[in-house]
Amino acid sequence: MSVDGDADPRHYVRLMDLARGGRDGDPAQYRGVFDTLAVVEGEHVLDVGCGTGGAVRALAAMVGGVGRVVGLDVSRTMVEEARARAANFAATVEFVLGDAHAMPFPDDMFDAAYALRVFEILGDPRRVLSEMARVLRPGGRLVVNGIDMDAWTIDSPDREVTRRIMHHACDAETNGWVGRRLPRWCKELGLTDVRVTPVANAFHEFESLYELVLRTFVESAAAAGVVTADEAARWVEDLRERDRRGLFFCSQTFFRVAATKSSRQ
Ligand SMILES: C[S@@+](CC[C@H](N)C(=O)[O-])C[C@H]1O[C@@H](n2cnc3c(N)ncnc32)[C@H](O)[C@@H]1O
């Protein structure tokens, strides 16, 4: 939530690259979102919390020379990185520094808008959803990927310690239940044609996932006294042991929520 205030803001750029497998501009990563959004050439599209701008670049190739993709991010570090990476897309992309809770755009400006890996960390995600609706034209479409932190699965030998660690991780996240809440918020805000697609990612390799997220989960649970240091160490060692034998399995589920701004809104 405060990339620029960190002692090493570039750490988050590296983290984003790790999370996107070093291929943030690869359209394959966003195909489900773009298919759901059904963007056509010439449209004006908004990426909320665009980070390093990989999805913006990937989409720019689809909207063509007359369309435009705008990435909005509250972090100057991210906006500068996104601009540097998009040097070849100057005609069709734009990156704007701003807070998604009060978007610096007029009403009815975009044909479509999406947000990926952002809603779980927002101070007021419902308000950001209403901002997305505001800046869409009547009939415009939105897609939000909302993670649900209580929907992780980890095949550990210790079910009880796993539950304690993962429930703690969910509660420590700013909006650990945002995925399951998004469909209701869409309806409450008067959006129509609300569709929900649960998407599960499966992981079969421990070390990279440990560095990306599991280390934080287990260290935070130990620091909070939710598990003892011994339980934490044993939990990690058990997963490593399974990984060494090629038996590690873990999954993470998020909800891809799509909706349309009614033409009467
Ligand atoms: C986990 S990254 C996701 C980046 C990108 N959407 C992706 O999927 O690769 C979250 C991004 O949301 C941005 N962000 C956080 N709070 C925001 C806010 N209130 N307004 C705009 N952007 C925000 C962060 O700066 C960061 O770049």
The residue to mutate among 11, 70, 73, having the most atoms of ligand 1 within 8 angstroms of its beta carbon, is: 73
Q: What is the pTM of this model?
A: 0.93
User: Atom 17, ligand 1: which residue's CA is nearest?
Assistant: 74
pLDDT of residue 1: 56
What's the pLDDT band for 248 if we cut at 50, 70, 90? Answer: very high
The tens digit of pLDDT for each residue in 167-209 reads 999 999 999 999 999 999 999 999 999 999 999 999 999 999 9
SS3 123: coil
pLDDT at 163 > cutoff 80 = yes
The tens digit of pLDDT for each residue in 80-116 reads 999 999 988 877 999 999 999 999 999 999 999 999 9
Instruction: From 211, 200, 199, select the one nearest 243 (Cα to Cα).
Output: 211
The tens digit of pLDDT for each residue in 230-243 reads 999 999 999 999 99
Segment (H or E) for 51 = none
User: What is the Rg, in whole angstroms, of the alpha carbon atoms belonging to the chain?
Assistant: 19
Binding pocket residue ranges, ligand 1, CB within 6 Å: 1, 3, 16, 20, 49-51, 54, 72-75, 78, 99-101, 116-118, 121-122
The residue to mutate among 74, 173, 174, having the most atoms of ligand 1 within 8 angstroms of its beta carbon, is: 74
pLDDT at 166 > cutoff 80 = yes
Q: What is the DSSP letter of 75?
A: -
Q: Mean pLDDT, to the nearest integer, of 121-137?
A: 98
CB 242 within 8 A of CB 250: no
The tens digit of pLDDT for each residue in 7-59 reads 777 777 877 877 777 788 888 889 999 999 999 989 999 999 999 999 999 99
- For strand 136-147 and strand 93-97, is the pairing parallel, antiparallel, or unpaired? unpaired
**Distance of CA 194 from the midpoint of ligand 1 (Å):** 23
**Distance of CA 69 from the midpoint of ligand 1 (Å):** 16
